[in-house]
Structure 1
Amino acid sequence: MMPSENQRWETLQAIKNSPKGRIKSDPHWSDRGEVSVLSTHGVFKNISQPQATSDGLKLGSPLEEGRTPTFLPSPPTLPLLSPRDMEMNGCIMAFEEEQREKAKAAVRKRQQQLEETVLAIAAADSEQLKRIEELMELKQRQENQMMRDLRDRETKESMGRQEQLKEAHRHRIKILNMRVWESEQQRVREAELERQRQAEGRERLNNLNNIQEEILQLNQLLDPSTHITEHLLAGSLSSYTTRGNQLCSQVSEVVHKTAEGEFPGVEDMMVAKQALHNMKTLIQQMQEEAVSAQEEKKKRGEEEEHRKQVALQQQKEAEKKAAESSKEKAQRKGLQNRADGSTMKWFRDLQTSLSQCAQSFEQLSSSRDKQTKKIKMELQKTATTPVCQISPISGSLLRGIFDKIDNLLSGRSTECGGKSVSTSLHPQGLNFVSYKIAEKFVRLGEEEVASNHKAAFPIAVVASGIWELHPKVGDLILAHLHKSCPYSIPHYPPMKDGMSVKEYQEILGYHVDESGVENQDQFLKRMSGMIRLYAAIVQLRWPFGSKQEPVPHGLNHGWRWLAQVLNMAPVVDITATLLYDFLEVCGNALIKQYQNQFWKLILLLKEEYLPR
């Protein structure tokens, strides 16, 4: 809008808001024959003329609001509107007419725009339809061209495949010709290799025959009738003979293969050479052992005879003398600080025997040979597995466990892990197995019995039966027990000059490692387990053994141990603990065996020993 038009609108708005602007104007009042009279308040009053032809006409525009004018009869002498009001009324009418024209022009313009828009859309649709038709024609041409290209490409590929097939056919013919030539060359080479293999096989066969002849000659040296073996122990000679026969069997198996028309292979020759080497080593070991076998056999016979004589003595007299001797010693010189000389000599002899046994299988335990290591592991597993299976709930299984241990110690084959194992696998196998079984029995007392006191009896009854059939194992059990628990001798080792505290604690039986020394409760628990095992061994006997033979380590040794403990000065904690454990396990058996003598010993313990 122009500025003048804006001012005009502002003027009209101001007039409308003025008192006179609220005057209702009807442009059709003259058509109805009405006359407007100016009132005293400045408001037009519509007065109906008496001569009006229509009484139903009303004043007011449909866009205006307000009250319906009241028509009153006016005198014919009233004057018309003033020129100013007429001018204003004319302006209003002119303005309204102008607005109607503008609205009509806007409607015509809008209608024209819509028509133009419809025409534009129709033209665009027509153009789009043309483009779509062109696009469809283009796609049809492209598809036709694609089909032609596809046919051309397939034709070219077909021709290419035919060329490839021809080339592949020519290549295969070339390869076949090459293979025929190579097969001919291979046949020539194989014929040459076969001649060479035959020559080498005949040479290996001659060497194998020489090895067999030599190993059979060496095996004759193991015959019991030869002067070399006459001083060897029966068990040792049996192990040597068994091992020699095994080595001969290994060579014989290789020779049997050649009897079927085959030449011995390189691996067969290695087996035969290794068997010959082992046979030479076996003969050398046997000769070395034969030098000292006679003296050892004589010494062992004397020890066995002495053991039988001691076992045949009446137990009551020996024990009565031991009790009286203990009482006399206590009265004569009071309590001792160490065991008597005979007991210490017995202890040292057992430790010497233990060391000699360990040295006897040094070659087996420290060998780096894979086959020897395998034999050692199988023997150790077979020896320790049955011992570990002993438990308070074994029951009828104890007989089977005992038989496995007895068979192994007797040189018979024993099943373990699906394999047949025997001490004859190695000349030192028997000593190795005996050492490991004895060590495992003591270890069970140290660990299993210490945690479960009831386990002492099944372990002890099996150990007693093995001790009865194999006295050497019993001595090793006792030596291991004395080594781990010196109080089972009984012996309280003194501290020597220059000895450190840790060294002295190790001698006393404490476990000492990098972290320090075990606590007193753990130490007493282990010692208690081993004493309980010892107390169970001296009173039990294998029920399925020979009743005619004396008990190898019976109650008389338990009586000796108890009497010597009471003859020695008590040590804090350890003496009271071991006495309690020993009497709890073995007390009932001692009462039945010694009766009044035992009660005298208990009275001595109560009245004289405990106060100290």
Structure 2
Amino acid sequence: MKESIPFLKVKLMMPSENQRWETLQAIKNSPKGRIKSDPHWSDRGENILAGYVETLSLSLNAGLILKKLSPPPPPETPSLASSSGCSTPGLSQGVSTFVGSNGTIPSISNQHLIISVTKESVQPQATSDGLKLGSPLEEGRTPTFLPSPPTLPLLSPRDMEMNGCIMAFEEEQREKAKAAVRKRQQQLEETVLAIAAADSEQLKRIEELMELKQRQENQMMRDLRDRETKESMGRQEQLKEAHRHRIKILNMRVWESEQQRVREAELERQRQAEGRERLNNLNNIQEEILQLNQLLDPSTHITEHLLAGSLSSYTTRGNQLCSQVSEVVHKTAEGEFPGVEDMMVAKQALHNMKTLIQQMQEEAVSAQEEKKKRGEEEEHRKQVALQQQKEAEKKAAESSKEKAQRKGLQNRADGSTMKWFRDLQTSLSQCAQSFEQLSSSRDKQTKKIKMELQKTATTPVCQISPISGSLLRGIFDKIDNLLSGRSTECGGKSVSTSLHPQGLNFVSYKIAEKFVRLGEEEVASNHKAAFPIAVVASGIWELHPKVGDLILAHLHKSCPYSIPHYPPMKDGMSVKEYQEILGYHVDESGVENQDQFLKRMSGMIRLYAAIVQLRWPFGSKQEPVPHGLNHGWRWLAQVLNMAPVVDITATLLYDFLEVCGNALIKQYQNQFWKLILLLKEEYLPR
């Protein structure tokens, strides 16, 4: 029968992981490691050591194991040894080792050796080095056993030997672990002491470094305070020096201001003296110019031989010069002394007055001589007139026959209209000759005066436009002031016609020329521009009739159809000369085309039609219109009495009626409609 032995459940507590594996390797290499474990042996009713044929025997170390694991021995039983029937040599040898000093065995019953092995009451806990310090095994105390579990029979002494080896090995490992722990603890203590010493030294170095930094900072602060103290002292010295310099400069300025005040006081005394002297000279000039102006009185013997128109122009010019000097005197009446420019204006006015008186005297002498000549010529003319009267009667009879043959149509305007045209052209030529000295002078000062007068005259006229609106009043005032001899601002300068004796005629000529030029260019391109230009021209014509006559003369010269007149071609006249008389522009490149020519003529006729129907709204309503609708009716009637010219007549009639037709209807009513009926039924078919 196979004997079964219990498994010894031993839980090893190794000092480290490597020692644990060494123990397991030793167990594996032992004979017990060849035993195969089968968890189902109990269910099959088999012995746990079935098939294991090795003879069990106790090892020599079994006594040590029994000593540590067995409970205290019971009282001696002498009959046990004699009654035992066990004859196993190994068992007998093993049991003998457990016999006490009195020769008894701890516990033997039923002819078997019963060994009770209990589990350890305290299981070791794993730590980082494989053994927990302070366990019962480390302290060398005998483990406490629980009540004995059911016992198993132990029949193999080899197992007992193995267990003893294991226990011895465990004891050895525990000693090694304790030694390692003590060594490790000693190393840790030494390390801690070394670290503490190093920390202490490092703390000392840090404290020394902090003390050094503190000393350095204190030294830096002392240096900084010293430097700031030096700088503040330096700044104070600079401020003191700057203060002394400023006081010196202020004293110098006070001295200079005192000197300046003395100089200004001296200059003021000189200015007052010069101003009083200029004032006395101005009064003398005014007195002299007023005395000279009295010579222009029509009651004086000097002016009795002058024509009324010429005397009127001299009187107007003299009054303008007196007004100019009076304006300068009015400034001095307000407590101011006349300036150098004012004295120049006054002296120039006096010079112009003397020149005017001289011209008037020369003209009076020439007029007296001419009057004598006219008396002689008048007698001769009367004699010749008698002879011419007879010849005129014959010619009148012949011309009446010719008119009847031509069915009432003419090739030119009637005699009164042509005489009016020639008188206007004569006035235009005389006006141009009157300022010949100003226009052709080579003197720089005279040229400058000419340019200023021309700019002042033409600039306001050029500013007239259909959208000017309320600005027309300002433009009109500028032109009126210039023609009246008053100062006018232009380009930041004060300009007056009194700057030159021929200034008034020059300005009048240029203004009239510019109005016609606007009709030729501006109105031709923009028909609406005719009305604002015409209303300003009508107002200037009303206040300054001479300018109106010049406007009409320029218009007749540029557009002979405004007379109306169709100039005939004379014998020996070239085509270009005839075209210039008709109003064409002729230059080196040739003659302008027909469309451009008709466009310019249309613009001037539209301007003329607007002038005859418009009146300046701010003028005197009591005075008659200088060139009103009656002249428009005359022009229309004379055009219808003349033979039509291709393109020109139709264009001019259309433009004139479009601009002035409504005003003619309101003024002439039925007479106008009769004229339109005549135009439609008799004139247009021709």
Using the size of structure 1 for normalisation, the TM-score is 0.54
Question: Structure 1 pair 489/262, CA: closer, same or farther in 2 (3 Å)?
Answer: closer
Kindly state the Cα deviation for residue 414 of structure 1 after the two structures are TM-superposed. 1.1
Greater Rg by CA: 2
- Residue correspondence of structure 1 range 267-282 to structure 2 within 5 A: none
Distance, in Å, in 1 between the alignment partners of 2:126 and 2:223 is: 98
Question: Which segment is superposed worse, 195-204 or 376-385?
Answer: 195-204
Q: Distance in 1 between matches of 2:122 and 2:510?
A: 149
Q: Is the 8 A contact 2:540 2:548 kept in 1?
A: yes
Residues 259 and 39 (structure 1 numbering): CA distance in 2 closer, same or farther, change over 3 Å?
farther
Query: C-alpha offsets along residues 7-27 of structure 1, whole Å, 9 cap, x if unaligned?
Result: 999999999999999999999
Single out whichever of 59-68 and 144-153 deviates more from structure 2.
59-68
In 2: Cα distance, 1:305 partner to 1:471 partner: 35
Larger mean CA deviation between 133-142 and 179-188 belongs to: 133-142
CA distance in 2, matches of 1:48, 1:2: 15
What is the Cα deviation at residue 548 of structure 1?
0.9
**SS, match of residue 295 in structure 1:** helix
Checking the alignment, whether the CA contact within 8 Å between 1:48 and 1:73 is kept in structure 2 is: no
In 2, distance between residues paired with 1:410 and 1:502?
A: 41
Instruction: State whether residues 423 and 429 of structure 1, in contact with CA within 8 Å, keep that contact through their aligned partners in structure 2.
Output: yes
Change (3 A) 1:271 1:505: closer
Q: Name the stretch that deviates more: 406-415 or 267-276.
A: 267-276
Deviates more, 1:547-556 or 1:215-224: 215-224
The farther-off stretch of 239-248 and 516-525 is 239-248
How far residue 456 of structure 1 moved from its aligned partner, in angstroms, is: 0.1
Q: Compare 36-45 and 480-489 and name the one that shifted more.
A: 36-45
Contact preservation (8 Å) 2:117, 2:151? no
Cα distance change of structure 1 residues 82 and 29 upon mapping to structure 2, 3 Å threshold: farther
Q: 2: distance between equivalents of 1:25 and 1:515?
A: 140
Of Structure 1 and Structure 2, the greater helix share is in 1
- Paired residue for 1:547? 621
**Pair 1:65–1:509, CA change in 2 (3 A):** farther
Contact 1:322 1:560 in 2 (8 A): no
For 1:164, the equivalent position in structure 2 comes to: 238
Which deviates more from structure 2 when the two are superposed, residues 301-310 or residues 83-92? Answer: 83-92
Aligned residue for 1:420, secondary structure, equals strand
Range that drifts further, 346-355 or 270-279: 270-279
Quick one: structure 1 residues 341 and 148, their matched pair in 2 at CA, closer, same or farther if it must change by over 3 Å?
same
Per mean C-alpha deviation after superposition, the further-off stretch among 230-239 and 547-556 is 230-239
Shift of the alpha carbon at 1:332? 7.8
Among 406, 427, 430, the alignment partner of 1:332 is: 406
Could you say if the C-alpha distance between residues 271 and 397 of structure 1 is closer, same or farther in structure 2, counting changes exceeding 3 Å? closer
Please report how far the alpha carbon of residue 287 of structure 1 lies from its aligned counterpart in structure 2 after TM superposition: 2.6
RMSD value, Cα: 11.7
1:148-163 correspondence runs (5 A): none
Distance 1:546 1:121 in 2: 124
8 Å contact 1:453–1:529 — kept in the other structure? yes
CA distance in 2, matches of 1:553, 1:125: 126
Kindly tell me: are residues 526 and 9 of structure 1, through their superposed partners in 2, closer, same or farther at Cα, counting changes over 3 Å?
A: farther
Higher mean alpha-carbon deviation, 277-286 vs 3-12, is at 3-12
1:438-470 CA distances to partner (integer Å, 9 max, x unpaired)?
111000000000000000000000001111111
Equivalent residue of 2:486, what SS? Answer: coil
- State whether residues 118 and 145 of structure 2, in contact with CA within 8 Å, keep that contact through their aligned partners in structure 1: no
Alignment CA distance shift 1:335-1:267 (3 Å): closer
Deviation of residue 424 (structure 1)?
1.5
Deviation at 1:384, TM superposition (A): 0.8
CA distance in 2, matches of 1:281, 1:39: 185
Q: Percent identity?
A: 99
1:268-292 alpha-carbon deviations (Å, 9 max, x no partner):
9999999999887555434324446
Per-residue deviation, 1:334: 2.7
| 8 Å contact kept, 2:421–2:553 | yes
Q: Displacement of 1:365 after TM fit?
A: 1.2
- Note closer, same or farther for the CA distance 1:183–1:602 as it changes in structure 2 (3 Å cut): closer
Whether the 8 Å contact between 2:17 and 2:129 is mirrored in structure 1 is no
Change (3 A) 1:44 1:416: same
* Alpha-carbon spacing, 1:558–1:94, altered in 2? closer, same or farther (3 Å): farther
**Greater alpha carbon shift after TM alignment, 73-82 vs 372-381:** 73-82
Question: Is the Cα–Cα contact under 8 Å of residues 254 and 264 in structure 1 kept in the other structure?
Answer: yes
The 1:71/1:103 distance shift into structure 2, 3 A limit, reads closer
- Tell whether the 8 Å contact from 2:605 to 2:656 is kept in structure 1 after alignment: yes
Residue number in structure 2 paired with 1:39 = 110
Q: Does 1:233 align with 2:307?
A: yes
What is the deviation of 1:181? Answer: 32
Partner residue in 1 for 2:330: 256
Asked whether the equivalents of residues 311 and 551 of structure 1 are also in contact (C-alpha less than 8 Å), the reply is: no
1:492–1:508 Cα contact (<8 Å) kept: yes
With 512-521 and 89-98 compared, the bigger mean Cα shift is at 89-98
The CA deviation string for residues 376-431 of structure 1, in whole angstroms up to 9 with x for no partner, is 11111111111111000010000111111111111111111111111122221111
- Partner-residue secondary structure (3-state), 2:119: strand
Q: Given the alignment, which residue of 109, 112, 135 partners 1:61?
A: 135
Contact map agreement 1:559 1:590 (CA 8 A) in 2? yes
- TM-score w.r.t. the length of structure 2 is 0.49
Alpha-carbon distance between aligned partners in 1 of 2:619 and 2:332, rounded to the nearest angstrom = 50
Deviations 1:185-232 (A, max 9, x none): 999999999999999999999999999999999999789986546777
Cα distance in 2 for residues equivalent to 1:121 and 1:445: 117
Of 150-159 and 260-269, more deviation after overlay is shown by: 150-159
Query: For 1:227 and 1:336, how far apart are their aligned partners in 2?
Result: 50
In 2 relative to 1, CA 98–494 (structure 1 residues): closer, same or farther, beyond 3 Å? farther
Matched residues in 1 for 2:390 and 2:370: separation?
A: 33
Which secondary structure state, in structure 1, belongs to the residue aligned with residue 153 of structure 2? coil
> Aligned-pair distance for 1:92?
77
CA distance 1:318–1:401, change in 2 (3 Å) = farther
Answer whether contact 2:318 2:353 (CA < 8 A) is retained: yes
Q: 1:330 to 1:170 in 2, by over 3 A?
A: same
Which whole-Å CA distance do the structure 1 matches of 2:487 and 2:609 have between them? 33
Deviation at 1:64, TM superposition (A): 76
For residue 177 of structure 1, report the CA deviation from its aligned partner: 34
Q: Is the 8 A contact 1:511 1:518 kept in 2?
A: yes
Contact 2:124–2:132, Cα closer than 8 Å, also in 1: no
More moved, 155-164 vs 14-23: 14-23
The answer (yes or no) to whether the contact 1:460–1:537 under 8 Å persists in 2 is yes
Provide closer, same or farther for how the CA distance between residues 140 and 23 of structure 1 changes in structure 2, counting only shifts above 3 A.
same
2-structure distance, mates of 1:37, 1:501: 178
Q: Note closer, same or farther for the CA distance 1:421–1:548 as it changes in structure 2 (3 Å cut).
A: same
> CA–CA distance in 2 between the matches of 1:531 and 1:52?
133
2:538–2:611 contact (8 Å) kept in structure 1 = yes
Deviates further, 360-369 or 387-396: 360-369
Give structure 2 stretches of 5+ with no counterpart: 1-12, 47-106
Deviations 1:517-555 (A, max 9, x none): 001110000000000000000110111111111111111
Moved more, 348-357 or 214-223: 214-223
Structure 1, 318-327 or 328-337: larger mean CA deviation: 318-327
1:288, 1:584 → 2: CA distance? 51
Counterpart check, 1:561 vs 2:561: no
Contact 1:26/1:61 (<8 A) preserved: no
Quote the residue 1:23 is aligned against: 35
Please state whether the residue corresponding to 2:16 is helix, strand or coil. helix
Structure 1 residue 267, shift from structure 2 partner = 15
Tell me what 2:465 maps to: 391
Q: In the TM superposition, what is the alpha-carbon distance from 1:336 to its structure 2 partner?
A: 1.1
SS at match of 2:152: coil
Q: Write the deviation string for residues 315-357 of structure 1: whole angstroms up to 9, x where unpaired.
A: 9999999999999989983311111111111111111111111
**Which moves more between the two structures, 209-218 or 582-591?**
209-218
Residue by residue over 1:278-311, the C-alpha shift from the partner in whole angstroms, topping out at 9 and shown as x without a partner, is 8875554343244467999999999999999999
User: 2:480, 2:314 → 1: CA distance?
Assistant: 20
CA shift, 1:88, in A, is 81
Q: Distance in 1 between matches of 2:125 and 2:44?
A: 11
Q: Which has the larger displacement, 396-405 or 81-90?
A: 81-90
CA–CA separation in structure 2 for the residues paired with 1:333 and 1:432 = 47
> Cα distance, 1:104 vs. partner?
70
CA distance in 2, matches of 1:521, 1:128: 115
Structure 1 residues 53, 330: CA separation in 2 closer, same or farther (over 3 Å shift)?
A: closer
Q: Which moved more, 1:563-572 or 1:53-62?
A: 53-62
Deviates more, 1:467-476 or 1:309-318: 309-318
Residues in 2 aligned to 1:127 and 1:257: alpha-carbon distance in whole angstroms: 106
Cα distance change, pair 226–611 in 1 and its aligned pair in 2 (3 A): closer
